[in-house]
Amino acid sequence: MRDFTADHSALALNTASLGHNLDGAGAGWSPERVIDACAARGYGGIVFWRREIGARAAEIGNRVRAAGLQVAGLCRTPYLVGREAPRDAAELYASVEMAADLGAPVLTIVTGGTEPGSKGVIETQKRLADRVAAIAPVAAAAGVALALEPLNPMFGGNRTCIFTVADALAVADSVAAPNVGVAVDVYHVWWDRTLAASLAAARGRVLGYHLCDWLENTRHMLLDRGMMGDGVADLHAIRRAVEDSAGYRGFCEVEVFSAENWWKRDPSEVLDVIVDRFRRHC
């Protein structure tokens, strides 16, 4: 496992930590201001959300690299399954194109929930695999990998049909495309005592590692994530499994959705705290 106590070059900011995943949240910094603030603090990468990129993907990607950072990824595809999934694939294709234009090596997939007219998740997982299989070659041609992100089971129904790394791997296995893997997010997997075994089976297929913490008393299931060190997730154990078992060596992306705490603070303070917590707790 890598030692981050004196080196945070593997640290990436997911701009959701500044509220950039939701309209009206956070301080509303421009991508350029975020890039400069991350560069000044020695971050290695940034992960953006589509809503802040608009038509400026190539411009923003170039700006990141000119500042000495990398675009670590893009959040995320539209839902592929479930009631809220778009009826046609145009938005999905556009998300792949945006990732390519941005120079993002990884596009994250949050799957969407159970398909209308079905129950449970098995049938939906099959349809998900079909849809990922259809987009995977398009993404590969664009130089983009697709990371299936399992969500905590409480997000079943409307947001996801995969709940564990094992679920995500099973879908990835059935797709069997070289550019399809999984994203591991502390918020979603911290509780899973089979995680280490799942990650041992995921060697070479972890495409992203997302950091936050699980607060002992979570007040909102989507928007009350904790900063690393403030909660009960065993961050060292999870990263050890991600790195030593699955062989992951990529960026560690801090993704703290926190409407009532971190999003209300000055982004400069948040970025400073992230660096400190990353070195001490991750």
Residues that bind Zn ion (CB under 5 A): 185, 210, 255
Q: Which one, 130 or 234, has the nearer CB to Zn ion?
A: 234
CA atoms of 136 and 180, how far apart (whole Å): 7
Q: How distant is the alpha carbon of residue 147 from its chain centre?
A: 8
- Helix-helix angle 31-40:57-66, to 10 degrees: 20
Q: Which one, 120 or 253, has the nearer CB to Zn ion?
A: 253
Q: Which one, 230 or 255, has the nearer CB to Zn ion?
A: 255
What are the structure tokens assigned to 86, written together? 């778009």
CB 252 within 8 A of CB 211: yes
CA angle, residues 129, 130, 136, in degrees to nearest 5: 80
CA atoms of 107 and 145, how far apart (whole Å): 6
Shortest spacing between CB 188 and Zn ion, in angstroms: 7
Q: Which one, 47 or 129, has the nearer CB to Zn ion?
A: 47
Shortest spacing between CB 208 and Zn ion, in angstroms: 7
Which amino acid is located at 118 in the chain?
Answer: S
Shortest spacing between CB 81 and Zn ion, in angstroms: 18
What are the structure tokens assigned to 255, written together? 């993704």
CA atoms of 173 and 163, how far apart (whole Å): 16
Task: Report the DSSP pairing between strands 180-185 and 145-148.
Answer: parallel
Shortest spacing between CB 240 and Zn ion, in angstroms: 19
Shortest spacing between CB 149 and Zn ion, in angstroms: 6
Q: Which one, 60 or 184, has the nearer CB to Zn ion?
A: 184
